Each structure stands twice: as structure tokens, then as C-alpha cells.
Structure 1
Amino acid sequence: MKIAITGGAGFIGSNLARALTDHPKITQVRIVDNLSTGHKANIAALGIDFVEGDIQNADLLDQAFRGADAVVHLAALPSVPRSVRDPLASHQANATGTLQVLEAARRAGGLHVIAASSSSVYGANPRLPKHEDLVTAPMSPYAVTKLATEAYLGAYHHSFDLPVLPFRFFNVYGPGQRADHPYAAVIPKWISATLAGEPVTVYGDGTQTRDFTYVGTVCRVLVDALLRRIVEPRPVNLAFGTRISLLDLIPEIETATGLVVHQDHVPARAGDVPHSQADSGRLRALFPMVAPMALEEGISTTADWFRASVASAAPS
């Protein structure tokens, strides 16, 4: 089985590429990435095909998808704050980029397309847990682009009979996630800061809640979806209903690092969703054999990876 991954040099994409290359039923993995947020170093040791370029280049997509059986579409400009600062760039990369991927999948013979949407589409809808049939209420341009992503997948399934599967990702974290850029996610940013003896930045009062999902769990679901060719035009939450506040996350990081976390509270950010928790019923029905990694184990594993990264980067 041959798989193409857009955005495969990024955090989730490189973890997925590693999982796929380790699987005996996968004969080829090809990555297309413009390296705007991904890094070649993430995939350097995997020995897989790499096509450098942007997903808005139709010829490049045709090259990347040639001979493939399926594509996992992860390429995007991530981050709510980034989209608030530059809505047009987010729309072009995420919404228009998805449209280009779907058109290329059609030209390649109707590839199975699995794509990443986001829990941010629920936005201002206060109901918890979030089930997929809730009314969406995006609070940021990024969330709108992800709603467009899953809507396009559904439309291409119904209009062109394209086999699709849109996943709504919820705060994915784990080894390989960068902390050294302005839009870094909270877990890598806080672990990295704590190991460096720096305070963590808490936006608002810290009572906002999230449903964190370990990247290894996400990859197991994606691999299973590819191998069993799961087709579902409706969005599927990819999280397991584990809700924790940011303030309650701090003791978990202290336990994993053995260090005290110092807090620096700053004003809340525009577009941030106050609370997030997945209803995992649809996910569990489609993937009954996948069990999530416990948060404390995932944070401990992530902290170990950051320690090892710091040690390897230190001068000898």
C-alpha cells in the first residue's frame, strides 16, 4: 500500500510517517511539504520519498500522488493567533489548499483522502462534551478554514464519490512537537520552559479546559483508517473525552519533570475557545480497538523526549 502525506515533515506528519514505515503492509510513503512549519530533520532518518513544495501547486501534487492509494492531508498553517494576525494566509493554505488536494486526488484516480480538521470549529458553542452533530460556531479565521476543510471533503464525497474521512483533532501533543516558535502549543511550550527554568505563560486565568490527545494514539487511528479504508463523510472527533484545565495541567508537568512550574499570567487571547472536550462515540464505533494513552504517561514520555533533545543539542 502506498501513502502520500501532505505536511509530512511536521509534528503529526513525521510521527505518522514513522508509524507507516514500520508497518509491513505499507510499501511506500511519500511526503509533500513546503517546510514552512515542517523540518527535513524530522524525517531525515526515515529514508522515504520527499517532494518539497506547496500544496497549491497542482503539478507538484500530481507528482506526489502518482501511484498512491491514499493521502493523509495534514498540510496547514496552524494556530488560532496566527490566523487572527493574517486571515488571508490561513484561508489560502488551509481552505484553498484542501481544495487543491481534493482535485489532485480526483485526477489520481479517486484516492482515499483522510484530512485533519480541528476541534476549534465548535468555537463558541458551550455544550460539553462536543459531539459532531452540534452547531459549529467558529471564533477564529483558523477555525473557519478547518470547517471549510471538512465541508469540502463531504462535498467531494457526495458530488464525485470520493472516499473521504475528516477528523477533528483535539490538542495533539507528544514527542517531536516544537516549542521554539511563537505559535507553539501549550504542552511542549510549558515543558520546554520548565526544563529551562523559565516561567510558563498562562493566557487568562488558566481555567480553560482542553482534551489533549497523544500523537501516538492519533497515528494508530490514522494507520488503522488507511489499512481498513474507513470512509465516513461526516466529521469524526479524534479525541477521547479527557478534559483538564490548564491549571490542573501544571502538576502533571511538575511530576513529569521533577521541577516546580512558575506561572506568568497574561491577558486572554482573541479567538481562544474557553472549553473543549470530545464526545468520542463516533470514533469508538469506527475504531473500537484503539485505546488512548493516559495523559500522565503521555506527558512523561514527552518530557523525556525534550530532555533527550536538550542533551543532544548541548556542546560536548
Structure 2
Amino acid sequence: MGENINSTILITGGAGFIGSNLCEYFLSKKYKVVCLDNFATGHRHNVKLFMNDPNFTLIEGDIRNLVDCQNAVKGVDYVLHEAALGSVPRSIIDPVTTNDVNVSGFLNMLVASRDAKVKRFIYAASSSTYGDSVGLPKVEDVIGKPLSPYAITKYVNELYAEIFSRTYGLETIGLRYFNVFGRKQDPNGAYAAVIPKFVMQLMQLESPIINGDGNYSRDFTYIDNVIQMNELAMITTNTEAVNTVYNTAFGDRTTLNDLLKYLKEYLSKYDSRIANVEIIHGPNRAGDIPHSLASIDKAKSLLHYNPKYSMQEGLKEAVEWYWNNLK
């Protein structure tokens, strides 16, 4: 693992939730880290801690601008491409911007990485790619039809990555993230992810609203498992392990009802009143899949992935972080 220590990593979207956690981790391992972000959804406070680190470089730029991408990949060994416009509902309201960022921006990054002769391009793919496929657990080579513009963009990313591997010899690995959560995930805004949103509401003694009856389930994946997958994808020397996609998850599922039960339990240790907050049920949300559960056998076998955090273990850590940082 030491052979890459002098390597330079470009993390696009490095001021976002997942990106800033990746920046922090790889800086702690003494890599040189370049962060490209336009701060559309990322936050300056996420990278503030790194600004005085001589191994950290911040480039303010937009992946929709090819020149920004070309500047960012100069002298870079590995790209961890996290920059994207997330959120199924946002993509339904504004499919054009979602496509511009997630498809055109992705293609710009591939072209820039190819031309700069980057060693490997690792990118955030999505469990939304499974679409309407009903089988559980989700296995990488069996997908359905996408259920939202966002899902289409993430599937197109995989298709482009495969073509760039075949046509230009650029090594690519896609990581299909399953409901990632943890420290630095933004609880604010219209498109906040469910866990930080629920945590904020409970901390303020507000009633969270569950879409539907609460029996929809997700493979909630703690951020440290995602960091592990990115590192393994970057350092693997197994030729069979590249130019493909992997589920990035824990391999277990939790209903929204159970999620709120755990959150109330863990948060009640800080404020006993939280145990009595009422939960409200609203209508189901357009584009949502009922159940999501990953098979992680492929990642275990080819990358030696061994997730350290179950959903509940990660949730305890996340709750503690939110309590200490957002009160």
C-alpha cells in the first residue's frame, strides 16, 4: 500500500459530503490531494480544515467546463470523481441541469483524464441504476429500467466509463453507492438526505415525515465503508478488478420505521424528550424504489472489501457527530 504515498489524487466534488471525507482521509495518509468544486452543493466549511495543509490544493471550477477539468487533472495520478447533482426529486424538477452536470460534466472529466494519462478513474455510480429490477439482493450485472432522470444519468456514466476503458485504455471503476450517510452530510436544503434531515428534526423536537407507511427499506451505508471502497479501487493491482462496477454498501437493509426507531433511541441519550417525538406519515415519493439491498460479494472477492460499520454502528457515530457539531 505504500507505493502510492507520493501519488496525487484529484477529488471532484471534494467540498461535498463524500468528497470532503475522502479529502480528509487521503490527506491523513500523506497523499497529495487536489479538490475541484464549484460549491453548488459543496461547502467551504467542509474543506476549511485542509486549507493550510501543504498537500492540499483547492481549485474552484465546474466540471461542465472542459478547461476547468483539464486544469484540475494536471499532474494527477488518480481521479476520484464525486462531483454530481444528486437527488431523484431534483432531477424530476430540473432534468436539464442534472444531465448537464452528471453526463456532460462526467464526459468532460473522462476526456481530461484520458488526455492527462491518469492511471485510474474511480467514480461515484449509484444504486438508482437498478431501477425497476425487483430481485434482491441487487447484483451488479442485473439491472432494470431507470425510474428517474437522475438514474438515467448515473447509468449513462457507467456506459461512458466502459467505452473509455475499451476504446482508450483508461482504467475505470464505478462504485454504486447505496444510501451513504455519516459526518458532514448536510441536513439543510430541499434535497437533504433522509438521515441528517431526520436527525435535525428530532434534535429540534420536530416530527419527521416518512414518505409512505415506512416499510420501504434501504441498504444504508456508513461513510467509512465508502472510503474503504474508494481506497481499494484505487490501489488494487488485480487486473480483473478494474473496468467494472461494484456495489458499495454494507449488505443489509433497514426500513424507514426502524431507522427512526434507532435514531430516537440514540438521540434520546443526549435529550430524553426526543423519545416522545411523534412520527408523521405522508404520501410515497415519485421515483422511489420500494426496497434496496446490495450483494457485496463481487467487491469482497475482487477488491477484498470488508465493511467495518453496520448501519447501526455507523448511525451511532453519525448521531454523535451531529449532536456535537450541529447543536
Classify the TM-score, shorter chain: over 0.9
Counterpart of 1:248? 258
Alpha-carbon displacement from aligned partner over 1:122-159 (angstroms, at most 9, x marks no partner): 11111100001113221000000000011111110011
In the aligned structure 1, how far is the partner of 2:305 from the partner of 2:107?
Answer: 32
Is residue 88 of structure 2 the alignment partner of residue 63 of structure 1?
A: no
Secondary structure (helix, strand or coil) at the match of 1:235 reads strand
Query: Residue 174 of structure 1 contacts residue 215 of structure 1 at CA under 8 Å; is this kept in 2?
Result: yes
Secondary structure (helix, strand or coil) at the match of 1:29 reads strand
Is residue 33 of structure 2 the alignment partner of residue 29 of structure 1?
A: yes
Query: Residue 131 of structure 1 contacts residue 278 of structure 1 at CA under 8 Å; is this kept in 2?
Result: yes
Q: Structure 1 residue 240: deviation in Å?
A: 2.5
**Gaps (5+ residues) in structure 1?**
312-316
In the aligned structure 2, how far is the partner of 1:61 from the partner of 1:135?
Answer: 30
- Identity across matched positions, percent: 38
The one-letter code of the counterpart of 1:76 is: A
Alpha-carbon displacement from aligned partner over 1:238-269 (angstroms, at most 9, x marks no partner): 11311111111111111210122421211111
Counterpart of 1:86? 94
The one-letter code of the counterpart of 1:162 is: L
Q: CA RMSD in A?
A: 1.3
In the aligned structure 1, how far is the partner of 2:69 from the partner of 2:141?
Answer: 32
Q: Structure 1 residue 14: deviation in Å?
A: 0.2
Is residue 62 of structure 2 the alignment partner of residue 54 of structure 1?
A: yes
Q: Structure 1 residue 229: deviation in Å?
A: 5.4
The one-letter code of the counterpart of 1:167 is: L
Is residue 138 of structure 2 the alignment partner of residue 136 of structure 1?
A: no
Counterpart of 2:4? none
From 60, 75, 78, give the equivalent of 2:83: 75
Query: Residue 84 of structure 1 contacts residue 140 of structure 1 at CA under 8 Å; is this kept in 2?
Result: yes
Counterpart of 1:119? 127
In the aligned structure 2, how far is the partner of 1:293 from the partner of 1:150?
Answer: 27
TM (norm. structure 2) is 0.92
How many residues of Structure 1 are paired with residues of Structure 2 in the alignment? 309
Counterpart of 2:8? 2
Counterpart of 2:271? none
Query: Residue 32 of structure 1 contacts residue 64 of structure 1 at CA under 8 Å; is this kept in 2?
Result: yes
In the aligned structure 2, how far is the partner of 1:135 from the partner of 1:41?
Answer: 37
Counterpart of 2:47? 43
In the aligned structure 2, how far is the partner of 1:127 from the partner of 1:289?
Answer: 23
Q: Structure 1 residue 121: deviation in Å?
A: 0.8
In the aligned structure 1, how far is the partner of 2:326 from the partner of 2:190?
Answer: 19
Counterpart of 1:236? 246
Query: Residue 84 of structure 1 contacts residue 141 of structure 1 at CA under 8 Å; is this kept in 2?
Result: yes
Runs (4+) of structure 1 moved beyond 4 Å? none
Query: Residue 13 of structure 2 contacts residue 37 of structure 2 at CA under 8 Å; is this kept in 1?
Result: yes
In the aligned structure 2, how far is the partner of 1:270 from the partner of 1:117?
Answer: 21
Secondary structure (helix, strand or coil) at the match of 1:38 reads coil
Q: Structure 1 residue 310: deviation in Å?
A: 2.6
Query: Residue 175 of structure 1 contacts residue 302 of structure 1 at CA under 8 Å; is this kept in 2?
Result: yes
TM (norm. structure 1) is 0.95
The one-letter code of the counterpart of 1:3 is: I
Alpha-carbon displacement from aligned partner over 1:259-314 (angstroms, at most 9, x marks no partner): 22421211111101111000111111123253230222211111111111234xxx
Judged with a 3 Å threshold, the aligned counterparts in structure 2 of structure 1 residues 84 and 246 are, in CA distance, closer, same or farther, namely same
In the aligned structure 2, how far is the partner of 1:135 from the partner of 1:212?
Answer: 19
Secondary structure (helix, strand or coil) at the match of 2:69 reads helix
Q: Structure 1 residue 95: deviation in Å?
A: 1.0
Query: Residue 112 of structure 1 contacts residue 229 of structure 1 at CA under 8 Å; is this kept in 2?
Result: no
In the aligned structure 2, how far is the partner of 1:257 from the partner of 1:110?
Answer: 44
Secondary structure (helix, strand or coil) at the match of 2:33 reads strand
Q: Structure 1 residue 76: deviation in Å?
A: 0.3
Query: Residue 166 of structure 1 contacts residue 232 of structure 1 at CA under 8 Å; is this kept in 2?
Result: no
